[in-house]
Amino acid sequence: MNLYPFFFPELKGQNIARYQIGLKHEIKDFLPSGSLLAIVAWLPFYWIDAYMIPERAVELAILRSGLPLSGILLYFLSRTRSVNDYGSLYGASVLLLLQLLTATITLMTGNNPSYLGGYYIAILITALFPLPFLWVAGILAFSLACYFTGQLILPATHPLNAYDVINLAIATTTGTVFSFFNEKLRLRAWLREQDLETTQSELALRMNIVDNDLSLARAVQQNLLPSVFPKNRQIVFDGLYRSMEKVGGDFYDIVCIAEDNSIVEAGTERNINSFLLIIADAAGHGVSAALMSTMARMAFHHALENQLRSPAEIMNFINKQTCRYLLAEHYLTGIVALISKDQVSYAMAAHRPALLLRAKDQSIEQLESEDLMIGMFSDQNYREMTVKLDPGDHLLFYTDGIIELRSPRGEEFSADRLCALFRSYPGDDFLKQLERDALRFAASRPIDDDITLLRIRIADDSLPGA
């Protein structure tokens, strides 16, 4: 096998041993069918021998029985564990036997032209077997040497002429060359497979790195969402967030505003006057959308640090900041709202209308605006609108993922269905009920977009426990 690099320069170093292991497996897989071929290949020739050379039919039958017997033995050996180590040797032994038997039968028939033709065929068949090229070349050379030695010993009815010798040389050379190129093709296929496995391993490694990075990014993004909702007797908050990928383009945030207009951490005991919230949806999905939403969130908090409290001023500030960095095809939709127990003031950037469920008559109003998306034009001037709130009213802010959810039949969840469910589940468990209904609606169909919802309930002091 040290000659392999000479004939096949593609094989270098450890590749030789690895290729030989792969070739062993290929031979192992071929042995069962090869053994069955050895069993049946010569069955018609028992009758042919009896017809053409009846005086030697018994001798020829005894010789021919060697191949099917070896095929039977090879079949049983291919079912044993030893085939893992010696499969190549088993296959080579049967091929060598085929060559020697064919050469002997040709000699016994006195170089009968028909049997000499069979010898040519046996040479070519040997070249088809997936043995190493050097083994096949050795088997053919040894068979040919034995045949010509027999010519010197045994008398021949049909002595070999120059034409026969040339044909034998051509058949042997063709078989050897065919075996060489056959292994060349096997080797190239194996090298391509190795390259593919190497590429797949490198890709898997990089995917693991990306997956780990995305997991870290997901943890960071989850930490950016409010971990607790503000506790307030008059205004009750609840939220739901589901991303379609590890990171998403939706986000929301809620900031507590004290009477002196300062920002108060959620859960503290200081008196809370009102709340500022933002909910936004970046175009697209995955990492790019997550980066845009994170940038918008940072701009929101930067606006608060600059003492901005008006939703329109905050939205204008966010738009100017994002326009400095986003490309033309990048944009966000969103709502900034200032909520107190008596009213909600909001500025909207092409976002889905917020829903206001009136307690007095269970009617639903839509809080909407015609202003453009964040990131489109830096000089966009967002308008601020104010709506009066009454005790018992409910507000629902959401991104389009929930209404664009589809069933396995392709039916859309729709804004109408959301409104109907909003009216049907007035309790504080509304978002849990909505999530169950939405997942039941989608069934096995994967979620196509991030889903984010914020529900706000204005407490009714006239009700017990409010």
107 or 288: whose pLDDT is higher? 107
Among residues of the chain, what percentage have pLDDT more than 70? 94
- Is pLDDT above 90 for 223? no
pLDDT (mean) for 232-252: 84
pLDDT of 301 reads 93
For residues 392 and 177, what is the distance between their CA atoms, to the nearest angstrom? 91
Domains of the chain: 4-200 (no CATH), 226-458 (3.60.40.10)
pLDDT (mean) for 432-459: 88
pLDDT (mean) for 94-122: 91
Residue 325: pLDDT band with limits 50, 70, 90: confident
Pair 106, 150: CB distance under 8 Å: no
- Is pLDDT above 80 for 115? yes
- Is pLDDT above 60 for 235? yes
Residue 146: pLDDT band with limits 50, 70, 90: very high
pLDDT of 269 reads 43
Bridge partners, residue 364, by sequence? 357
pLDDT of 464 reads 52
463 or 326: whose pLDDT is higher? 326
Instruction: Look at 90-104, 144-158, 263-277, 337-351 and tell me which has the smallest mean pLDDT.
Output: 263-277
- Is pLDDT above 90 for 385? yes
pLDDT (mean) for 201-218: 83
pLDDT of 129 reads 84
pLDDT of 132 reads 85
pLDDT (mean) for 88-92: 89
- Is pLDDT above 90 for 154? no
- Is pLDDT above 70 for 247? yes
Residue 369: pLDDT band with limits 50, 70, 90: very high
Instruction: Look at 42-56, 211-225, 238-252, 333-347 and tell me which has the smallest mean pLDDT.
Output: 211-225
pLDDT (mean) for 20-24: 74
- For all residues of the chain together, what is the average pLDDT? 87
Instruction: Look at 19-33, 138-152, 405-419 and tell me which has the smallest mean pLDDT.
Output: 19-33
pLDDT of 70 reads 92
pLDDT (mean) for 210-235: 79
Instruction: Look at 10-19, 153-162, 316-325, 326-335 and tell me which has the smallest mean pLDDT.
Output: 10-19
Residue 415: pLDDT band with limits 50, 70, 90: very high
- Is pLDDT above 70 for 465? no
- The pTM of the full predicted model, rounded to 2 decimals, is 0.63
- Is pLDDT above 70 for 377? yes
pLDDT (mean) for 368-379: 91
